[in-house]
């Protein structure tokens, strides 16, 4: 019997290293998760990854075709160097070549974690078969991946898809990126939390319920707590979620008119923390985006939760031998 | 001696039909322009095009490989039907098949005029050799064309590139498209004229100079007149142009962060009517767009004026036999 092709996927974030042995059709057969040893520096984290991969190989007895890594950071195209990762505190780390050197020259490909998640959703999730697809991940920050004409776009310096930093307001709020008016500055988890805190301070009575969920500590108010309060029909939380939906709908209207996608898939903690957001956004986008651009469009939540980047990271290996991404 | 390949290009707008015989390397050897006989309906306009093409063939004695048409309207991908063209007052006109039927089955390809202009600028103009390029045309309306990874994107229903209808304001001004907050509603020619008229009404003293250029008639104030006044350093006109630059910079920041282009080429009457706009936009984009997305970016005016759509329309024929767009 033929064994399916397999590859190692690595999802490398600031808090967690997630390593899996993945079969070509998206099955995770073995998996190891551990907290990222950020303080050990790049060498330490790379050693942690190498040791995890060896462990998986031993456990499974399989020989993977290669290693695909998704990293929370900016990746240099071609080399697999990590330009910059604030979460890992990395600057110019030659990740792909280091892994390759320590594992007998095995093929190693590195991409950004959001792009990996897009690849996962595209190949194995709700985006399957789509030629024109946008994945929008709304967590603390907002990131995106764009497939157009059957190809995941990278841009000239490998940074395409920064959809959280598309402005939705001409003279808008300052963003963590140094710009202003960005979608993320209105709808990212950090922005929701900030808006909630400001609203509570401005009107403590309206904020009573949210503050209670945060155990009375204003600084502990997070987007997650706001979502919880909205689920329990707290008026302020509902208002904050409506504002979030309006901001996201503004950005998404632009994505629809610019890219004319077949599908928009929404993932990330803010979306999965309060799924009614997807319908609130749909209502607002209808009648606002161009009719011709919406003729076949669907907007739906991501179906691969907590493993999109892992699957997509590994899929780079299968893709690299099949089609040009 | 080998003759270069040649094709017919047609730029079909609501006011003018522009037909040219184009050599593969972008030389227009013969050209006929005439006012569009919109009132004669689709059949009349198609007869006008066919007669122009025959005339060019007779004049040149050459046999073109095919006919490429750029139309101000929405085009159905694959069939070359014109879905909808407000300027021509056309709905569902089988343009490609009608031309083909009347000209012995010659290969006939139809695209949107803005996409044709993008193709022209990409193959023969300032975009030459670029794999990641955005063309933004700011005239009465605003349209765009997007090349990413060496391909001109179409989207799932052939409407990608409607960059004038990307919102730049959450609860913004109404747009002609039925949406609100669109870039075009702030920076399109019609919006500049509207803002000028409002400003003149609000403060007739500030508006004195612009109004004089419009021969005292408020309704005759156009974006072109505002540009003229700005060139002559009229304060209100300069303010209006600064606002236009701010709106365009907001939109363009989003395009940079989303697409990570190598080049942004700006064309259309508003840009060429007041070229300092390009520098005003650059100043505003710097420091606002993500550094990584700007690392190799240039923003420059289009170099092909008044014939980009014609050249690009014809280029469809050369492209269709070479590479997949």
Q: List the 41-80 stretch of B: residues with Cβ below 8 A of A.
A: 74
pTM of the predicted model over 0.80: yes
Number of domains, chain B = 2
| pLDDT digits 0-9 by tens, B141-174 | 999 999 999 999 999 999 999 999 999 999 999 9
Residue A1: inside a domain, yes or no?
no
Q: Does B151 touch chain A (CB under 8 A)?
A: yes
Q: Same structural domain for residues A18 and A36? A: yes
Q: Same structural domain for residues A152 and A239? A: yes
B73: containing domain:
6-119+307-322
Question: Which residue is closest to B244 within chain A, CA to CA?
Answer: A170
The pLDDT of residue B325: 40
Q: Same structural domain for residues B213 and B296? A: yes
Residue B217: inside a domain, yes or no?
yes
By the 8 A CB rule, do B138 and B268 touch? Answer: yes
Interface contact B157-A260, CB threshold 8 A: yes
**Measured between CA atoms, how close is A176 to chain B, in angstroms?**
11
The pLDDT of residue A21: 97
Question: Which residue is closest to B263 within chain A, CA to CA?
Answer: A156
The pLDDT of residue A233: 97
Q: Does B295 touch chain A (CB under 8 A)?
A: yes
Question: Which residue is closest to B246 within chain A, CA to CA?
Answer: A170
By the 8 A CB rule, do A293 and A263 touch? Answer: no
| A vs B: CB pairs below 8 A | 177
**Measured between CA atoms, how close is B28 to chain A, in angstroms?**
31
Residue A111: inside a domain, yes or no?
yes
Q: Does B127 touch chain A (CB under 8 A)?
A: no
Task: Report helix, strand or coil for B77.
Answer: coil
Q: Same structural domain for residues A133 and A189? A: yes
Q: Same structural domain for residues A216 and A295? A: yes
Of B155, B158, B179, the CB nearest to A261: B155
Of B166, B246, B296, the CB nearest to A257: B166
By the 8 A CB rule, do B34 and B48 touch? Answer: yes
Q: Same structural domain for residues B168 and B24? A: no
Contacts of A253 in chain B (CB under 8 A): 165-167, 179
Contacts of B291 in chain A (CB under 8 A): 178
Geometric angle at alpha carbon A147, from A260 and B151, rounded to 5°? 80
Long-range contacts of B234-237 (CB under 8 A, 24+ apart): B234/B209, B234/B210, B235/B206, B236/B196, B236/B199, B236/B200, B236/B203, B236/B206, B236/B207, B236/B209, B236/B210, B237/B196, B237/B209, B237/B210
One DSSP character per residue, A168-225 reads SBTT--B-TTS-BSBTHHHHSHHHHHHHHHHHHHH-TTTTHHHHHHTTT-GGG--HHH
Residue A218: inside a domain, yes or no?
yes
Residue A318: inside a domain, yes or no?
yes
Geometric angle at alpha carbon A187, from A186 and A188, rounded to 5°? 110
Question: Which residue is closest to B147 within chain A, CA to CA?
Answer: A155
Q: Where does chain B have alpha helices with state H?
A: 41-60, 95-102, 113-124, 184-187, 189-202, 208-213, 223-231, 235-259, 269-273, 276-285, 291-294, 308-322
Q: Does B128 touch chain A (CB under 8 A)?
A: no
Task: Report helix, strand or coil for B215.
Answer: coil
Q: Which of the residues A167, A191, A264 would you substitute to probe the B interface, choosing the one with the greatest number of B C-beta atoms within 10 Å?
A: A167
Q: Same structural domain for residues B13 and B106? A: yes
Q: List the 229-258 stretch of B: residues with Cβ below 8 A of A.
A: 246-247, 250-251, 253-255, 257-258
Q: Is the pLDDT of residue A91 over 90?
A: yes
Residue B1: inside a domain, yes or no?
no
Q: Which of the residues A161, A254, A323 would you substitute to probe the B interface, choosing the one with the greatest number of B C-beta atoms within 10 Å?
A: A254
How confident is the model over A60-77, as a mean pLDDT? 93
Q: Same structural domain for residues B81 and B133? A: no
The pLDDT of residue A325: 40
Question: Which residue is closest to A178 within chain B, CA to CA?
Answer: B288
The pLDDT of residue A116: 97
Q: Same structural domain for residues A46 and A179? A: no
Complex ipTM value: 0.94
Q: Same structural domain for residues A179 and A102? A: no
Interface contact A293-B177, CB threshold 8 A: no
**Measured between CA atoms, how close is A227 to chain B, in angstroms?**
22
The pLDDT of residue A77: 87
By the 8 A CB rule, do A144 and A136 touch? Answer: yes
Q: What is the CATH number of the domain that holds A263?
A: 3.30.420.40
| pLDDT digits 0-9 by tens, A109-121 | 999 999 999 999 9
| pLDDT digits 0-9 by tens, A23-64 | 999 999 999 999 999 999 999 999 999 999 999 999 999 889
Q: Same structural domain for residues A158 and A228? A: yes
| pLDDT digits 0-9 by tens, A267-280 | 999 999 999 999 99
**Measured between CA atoms, how close is A212 to chain B, in angstroms?**
31
**Measured between CA atoms, how close is B106 to chain A, in angstroms?**
27
The pLDDT of residue A323: 44
Mean pLDDT, consecutive 10-residue stretches, chain B (325 aa), reads 86 95 94 96 98 95 94 92 93 97 96 96 95 97 96 96 97 95 98 98 97 97 98 98 98 98 97 97 96 95 93 91 47
Of B155, B186, B257, the CB nearest to A260: B155
Q: List the 154-183 stretch of B: residues with Cβ below 8 A of A.
A: 154-163, 165-171, 177-181
Question: Which residue is closest to B294 within chain A, CA to CA?
Answer: A157
Contacts of B177 in chain A (CB under 8 A): 290
Q: Same structural domain for residues A279 and A146? A: yes
Residue A124: inside a domain, yes or no?
no
Closest CA to B303 of B163, B112, B127: B127
Task: Report helix, strand or coil for A61.
Answer: coil
Interface contact B290-A165, CB threshold 8 A: yes
The pLDDT of residue B323: 44
**Measured between CA atoms, how close is A44 to chain B, in angstroms?**
27
**Average pLDDT over all residues of chain A:** 95
| pLDDT digits 0-9 by tens, A163-210 | 999 999 999 999 999 999 999 999 999 999 999 999 999 999 999 999
Q: Is the pLDDT of residue A322 over 60?
A: no
Q: Does B98 touch chain A (CB under 8 A)?
A: no
Contacts of A148 in chain B (CB under 8 A): 148, 153, 155, 160
Q: Which of the residues B127, B157, B242 would you substitute to probe the A interface, choosing the one with the greatest number of A C-beta atoms within 10 Å?
A: B157
Interface contact B151-A155, CB threshold 8 A: no
Residue A224: inside a domain, yes or no?
yes
């Amino acid at each position: 019997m033929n064994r399916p092709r397999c590859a190692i996927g690595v999802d490398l974030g600031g808090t967690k290293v997630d390593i899996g042995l993945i079969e070509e059709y998206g099955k995770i057969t073995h998996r190891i998760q551990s907290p990222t040893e950020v303080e050990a520096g790049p060498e330490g984290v790379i050693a942690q990854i190498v040791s995890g991969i060896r462990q998986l190989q031993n456990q499974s007895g399989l020989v993977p075709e290669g290693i695909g890594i998704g990293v929370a950071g900016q990746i240099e195209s071609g080399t697999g160097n990590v330009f910059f990762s604030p979460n890992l505190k990395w600057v110019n780390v030659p990740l792909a070549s280091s892994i390759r050197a320590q594992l007998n020259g095995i093929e190693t490909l590195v991409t950004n974690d959001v792009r990996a998640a897009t690849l996962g959703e595209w190949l194995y999730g709700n985006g399957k078969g789509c030629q024109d697809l946008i994945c929008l991940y709304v967590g603390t920050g907002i990131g995106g991946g764009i497939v157009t004409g059957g190809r995941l776009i990278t841009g000239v310096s490998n940074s395409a898809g920064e959809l959280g930093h598309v402005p939705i307001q001409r003279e808008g709020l300052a963003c963590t990126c140094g710009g202003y008016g960005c979608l993320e500055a209105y709808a990212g988890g950090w922005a929701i939390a900030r808006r909630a805190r400001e609203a509570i301070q401005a009107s403590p009575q309206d904020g009573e319920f949210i503050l209670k969920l945060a155990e009375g500590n204003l600084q502990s108010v997070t987007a997650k707590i706001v979502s919880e309060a909205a689920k329990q029909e707290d008026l302020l939380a509902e208002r904050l979620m409506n504002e979030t939906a309006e901001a996201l709908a503004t950005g998404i209207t632009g994505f629809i008119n610019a890219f004319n996608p077949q599908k928009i898939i929404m993932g990330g903690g803010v979306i999965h923390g309060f799924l009614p957001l997807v319908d609130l956004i749909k209502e607002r986008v209808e009648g606002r985006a161009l009719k011709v651009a919406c003729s076949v469009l669907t907007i739906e939540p991501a179906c691969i939760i907590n493993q999109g980047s892992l699957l997509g990271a590994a899929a780079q290996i299968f893709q690299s031998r099949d089609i040009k991404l």
